[in-house]
């Protein structure tokens, strides 16, 4: 079973361009999570999604950032009109559905290798 | 509010034992996670504690005291490959799908 896959691993964009980051979850995983990591700030939750639905996007900036997890294909984190402050490592993780359907189960998140975005 | 504190850096010697502490403040506590992250790589799951006490898993053990808002990760028989950042995380308001992360403790294991 292949792990969580992210591409590209490295992405360079100029200010004002768009960045598209892709994440393919592990087989059988229903949930995808996106995190941003800066060297001095640690991992920051951005959004988590279930197929075709955004469950919680409270950690994602309201402007320029969007995420989707379509019925077919990978999850996409899209950053429009990038600025230098968007330079960071973006990690995707995935997890199994909760058997009990609740929020309190142990839900191990499996992380992808990350995409390192550099904005020039 | 929610807050997690960990020491920024630690140094230890190969073969020794090291304890990495984590204190947290959260509403609706529902467990605490430890992850390991090597430089430039993805975090990998180490442990999850929801009840008080020590849970042992090979060379790594994790302890939790809910009343004190305190956890530690104990690494025994340290190896060079254990040099990494160790991240403590708690669910936001009891939601295990939305984790709040500490800044991580960077552990350097010296020969």
Summarised one tens digit per residue, pLDDT across range B64-93 is 999 999 999 999 999 999 999 999 999 888
Mean residue pLDDT across chain A: 91
pLDDT at A106: 65
Q: Which residue has the higher pLDDT, A24 or B96?
A: A24
Tell me how far apart the alpha carbons of residues A96 and B100 are, in angstroms, rounded to a whole number. Answer: 19
pLDDT of residue A57: 94
Q: How many CA atoms within 13 Å lie on the side-chain side of A55? A: 16
CB A67 within 8 A of CB A50: no
Are the beta carbons of B94 and A104 separated by less than 8 Å? Answer: yes
Task: Tell me whether A55 touches chain B (CB under 8 Å).
Answer: yes
Rg (CA), chain B: 13
- The residue among A30, A40, A100, A39 whose CA lies nearest residue A71 is A30
Q: With a cut of 90, say whether residue A105 has pLDDT above it.
A: no
Task: State the pLDDT at residue A41.
Answer: 81
pLDDT attached to residue A24: 96
Residue of B nearest to A92 (CA): B42
Model pLDDT for residues A64-83, shown as the tens digit of each residue: 999 999 988 999 999 999 99
Q: How confident is the model at residue A1 (pLDDT cuts 50, 70, 90)?
A: low
pLDDT band at B55 (very low <50, low <70, confident <90, very high): very high
Q: Exposed, middle or buried, A6 (CB in 10 Å: 0-12/13-18/19+)?
A: buried
Contact assignment for A105 to B96 by CB distance below 8 Å: yes
Q: Chain B contact for A106, CB < 8 A?
A: yes
pLDDT of residue A47 exceeding 60, the answer is: yes
- The pLDDT of A8-33, averaged and rounded, is 96
CB contact under 8 A, B101 and A42: yes
CB A110 within 8 A of CB A42: no
Which positions in chain B have a beta carbon within 8 angstroms of at least one beta carbon in chain A?
A: 30-31, 41-45, 48, 50, 87, 89, 91-92, 94-104
Please give the share of chain A, as a percent, with pLDDT higher than 90. Answer: 77
pLDDT-based confidence at residue B2 (cuts at 50, 70, 90): confident
């Amino acid at each position: 079973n292949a792990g969580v896959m992210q591409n590209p691993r490295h992405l360079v964009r100029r200010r004002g361009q768009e960045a598209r980051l892709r994440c393919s979850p592990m087989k059988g995983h229903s949930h995808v999570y996106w995190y941003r990591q800066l060297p001095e700030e640690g991992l920051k939750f951005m959004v988590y999604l279930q197929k075709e639905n955004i469950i919680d996007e409270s950690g994602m900036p309201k402007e320029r950032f969007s995420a989707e997890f379509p019925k077919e294909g990978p999850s996409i984190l899209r950053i429009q009109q990038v600025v230098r402050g968007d330079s960071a490592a973006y990690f995707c993780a995935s997890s199994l559905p909760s058997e009990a359907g609740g929020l309190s189960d142990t839900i191990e998140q499996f992380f992808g290798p990350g995409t390192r975005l550099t904005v020039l | 509010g929610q807050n997690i504190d960990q020491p920024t850096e630690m140094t230890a010697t190969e073969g020794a034992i090291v304890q990495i502490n984590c204190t947290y403040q959260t509403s609706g506590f529902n467990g605490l996670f430890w992850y390991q992250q090597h430089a430039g790589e993805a975090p990998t799951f180490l442990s999850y504690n929801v009840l008080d006490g020590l849970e042992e898993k090979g060379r790594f053990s994790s302890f939790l005291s809910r009343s004190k808002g305190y956890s530690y990760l104990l690494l025994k028989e340290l190896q060079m490959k254990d040099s990494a950042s160790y991240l403590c995380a708690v669910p936001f308001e009891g939601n295990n799908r939305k984790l709040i992360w500490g800044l991580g403790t960077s552990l350097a294991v010296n020969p």
